[in-house]
Structure 1
Amino acid sequence: MFVCFKGNIIKLEINPFLGLLVICSLFKATHIKTGIHYCLRRIHGFRLSNTKCMAFVELWKKLSHSNIVQLKEVFTTKAFGDNSMIFVYDYHPGCETLLSRHFSPDQSGYSDPFINDTSTPRPYSYQKNNLLRHTQNNKLPEPLIWNYIIQLTSALRVIHSSALACRSLDPTKIIINSRNRLRLSCLGVMDVVMHETNSTINHVTLIQHYQQEDLTSLGKLVLALACKSTVAVQRENMSTALDLVGRTYTPDLRNLIMYLLASQQRRSVTDLMPMIGARFYTQLDLLHQHADSLDDELSKEVQNGRLFRLMVKLSMINERPDFNMESTWSETGDRYMLKLFRDYVFHQVNEDGNPWLDMAHVVQCLNKLDVGTPEKISLISRDEQSVLVVSYAELKHCLEQSFGELANSSMLHHDLSGTTIVPE
């Protein structure tokens, strides 16, 4: 199915997978037939001895959501010299992990406020004030955190309603693009790798347990984002981190984190909707604005396509050496006006005789030709012996009539040969 040689597979990373005793490699691969790029996640040295886990794979393959990297296929291979398990996902170029976006030491000025310098012991009050000061100066905007929460809960809602669990809600397994669009990746890997260990436990009970773990992981992730520290979610730092969130952000955010971390009670992702409240509509409005901007850009491309078709028709008519046994077909009748119009649009010169390269003039003329306006223009032959005053409506009629002759002749030829084309 996929091109499996060095020239078409690019290794992106290699690392342990979420603390498990397995090594995972990431590749960019190309489909043989379609040329579409995919992301291959290889589990090293893994032998699949129980195929019951493939039922989970089928469920994941059916799951499609805007905040999920969709699983396409899972297969085993010995192409790497061992028994490897390959997970095929959609490829999203230009993304980075949530960890590298907000918790990377490579960021300018980033430091984890919960990691103390042990060489210079300080009183507890100093450390607490330093934490607060650091968070105030480097905190993430609260609307951005709610934006992440809405996207993550939207993905979890779909996953949980499909009787599945994410099990990889980790900053290293969440990718983000330049427009802060989040996607959960590595879905389905845990269900395959850890399936044999849990094969004797009731399936429904197990999924419910993992779904509760998803919500706990979400609470820890939001807490880490609010504190800009992955160390903040450690048990010994949890109380300080929650106090920091209460001092820095609104009570709504702290209450949501407290709810997600309250593992003693049964939680549901749908219960988070009242806590999100009207912020959901803000996010919805931003999405609609983005959709409008995409529509505007698409309409520009549609206009470009319309003008391109006009240029194709003109090019097929102008300078055609022979048609229906007429060697001068393109130089006579209506076609002569189209030839002069071609010079009028593309071969203008200024008063010094130099080429006049005005794109606006070209676009304006082609738009008027497409509409067929009654505006008249003067067309002058290259020897300046002929001057024609015609309207764009007349030129449009000449263009359609001349192209129609070509299309009819082409249709007749293909009908005789057993195939048919339909001119636009």
Structure 2
Amino acid sequence: MKEKELAIFWFRRDLRLHDNAALYHALRSGLPVIPVFIFDTNILDELEDRDDARVDFIHRVVNAIFDALKKYGVGMEVLIGKPDAIFKKLIGKYPIKKVYTNHDYEPYAIDRDSKIEKLLIENGISFHTAKDQVIFEKDEILKDNGQPYTVFTPYSRKWLAKLNAFYLKPYPTEKYWDGWFKQDGPAMPTLEKVGFTASSIPIPSVSVNKNIIADYDKTRNFPGIEGTTRMGIHLRFGTVSVRELARIANGVNATYLNELIWRDFFQMILWHFPHVGQGKAFKPAYDHIKWRYNEIEFKQWCNGMTGYPMVDAGMRELNATGFMHNRVRMVTASFLSKHLLIDWRWGEAYFARKLLDYELSSNNGNWQWAAGCGCDAAPYFRIFNPTTQAQKFDKDHNYINTWIPELNDFAYPTPIVEHEAARKRCLEAYSKAVKEFS
């Protein structure tokens, strides 16, 4: 007798069972669904830290999903390896008819999915993907001439004009819970089996603080208070639905909703202009800036020892917690690329290593914005003064004193560069590159 055909739902950066687009479609497909998660060694082998808090977090979340499904008699396949090799094994193990997963817009993911789709088609299996991690994607928000936006404000206007209840509606996966394939399944691998150890860095709760969203426009710029939602890591790995956050913010706080629009914008930019995710400036002229590749000063920046308290507090917060307040991210990024005239790619890579909420599109977009070389970037002659930024947004030093207890002691370094001299040097270097190569 022929085995009953099955479907696979492939978890990636959508680690939740509720309001999950592709999971919803899989459970409604009429085929029993096997849940799969792959610890992708193509990605994991590139990580420098074996106690990477993000891997620890992913493992704990996947384990929670594994346990939740097990209570319903559903065995989840949690596997370690390269996705193409894993799928070859799954094809040999199960009579798979369809594979469902959610879109991913990063260059590696696009290449990976193309190879997986080719493998599946060769084996008579269809590959189905859905939009889940953004409100609008790819070509959904375009100029009237069909070209992608490269300036945020008109993009955001069209984004808001197109927004309606349909795009914010949750996917009721729970209604189709009978769609799972019931089996015992293999055991959940330990974190050590994945090749990592537990991290000491705490992860912010996935619970959404609606009061913070309501007051976001008033509190978001002050790092010394609890004025942001800390939802970055949960959006990154899909432990919260972007539709849920947009529903809460819509009509309540336009500033918070605007942050979600920025996230969509950067994802769209990466999709249409993939060179930005491959080490290139959005504006080609800026690839010709004569950077100072000063490793000593870069290390001082990394360690929070530049002599500029706002910069140093931010870097120390990042190193200790995997988080940095958004206002401070702008200050530290501007300081590296403009005050120190060190290639923004060095800073981008350091943030990629340390940030819990790291995602390529936003990290790259924000670094290029701060360095002046991205789409809709701050003009190169706009140079944050880290001293006045501290006076404006941390005037009582609540934030700075938290991270620099030795601020008023001889142990704290003098500034490694003088602001006006650094500003002049930056303007000369940028101006020369723009004039010569524009």
TM-score range, shorter chain: under 0.3
TM-score by length of 2: 0.24
Task: Point out which structure has higher relative CO (alpha carbons under 8 A, 6+ apart).
Answer: 2
Q: Counting strand residues as a fraction of each chain, which structure ranks higher? A: 1
Q: Which has the larger radius of gyration?
A: 1
TM-score by length of 1: 0.24
